[in-house]
Chain A
Amino acid sequence: MRIRWHSLTLLAVPLASALTQQKVDIHRAAIPTASVRLGGALSSVRVIGWDKDSIALTGVIGAGSRFDGGAMNSAGPVQGMKYYVEAPDEGALRANKLELRVPARARVWIKAGSADIEASGVTGGLDLNIVGGSVRVSGTPRELMVESMDGAVTIDGTAEFARVKTATGDIVLKGGGEDLTLTTVSGAIRAAEGTVQRGRFESVTGPIIFAGTVARGGDVKFDTHSGSIELRLAPRADLEIDASSVTGSIENAWTRTRPIAGREGRGMELGISSGMGGARVSIRSFKGNVRLTTR
Chain B
Amino acid sequence: MNAAARPRSSGADGEWHRLHPATPLLRGGIIGLAILGWAAVQLRDVWINAIVGDVVGRELPDDPASRFIASHLLWAIVAAIAIVAVFVGAGWLAWRMHEYRVTDELVEEREGILWRRHRRGRLDRVQGVNIERPLIARLVGAARLEVAMAGNDGNIRLSYLSSRTADELRRGILAAAAEVRRVPVAERPSTRFARSGTAERDEATRRPTLASRISTIAADLSAPELDVELATPTSLVEMHPGRLVAATALSLVRPLLLLVVIVVVIAALSRAWFAALIVIPAVIAVFGIGSRRILRSLRYSISETPDGIRVGYGLLSTANETLPASRIHAIQLDQPLLWRPFGWWSIRINRASRGGRDGAPGRPDTRILPVGTIEEARRVVALILPGWEEPAAFTISPPRARWLRWFSRRRNGFAIDGRVVALRRGALWRTLTLVPLARVQSVAIEDGPLTRALRLARVEVHTVEGVIRGHIGALDAADAVGLWRETEARALGAMS
B and A form one assembly: no
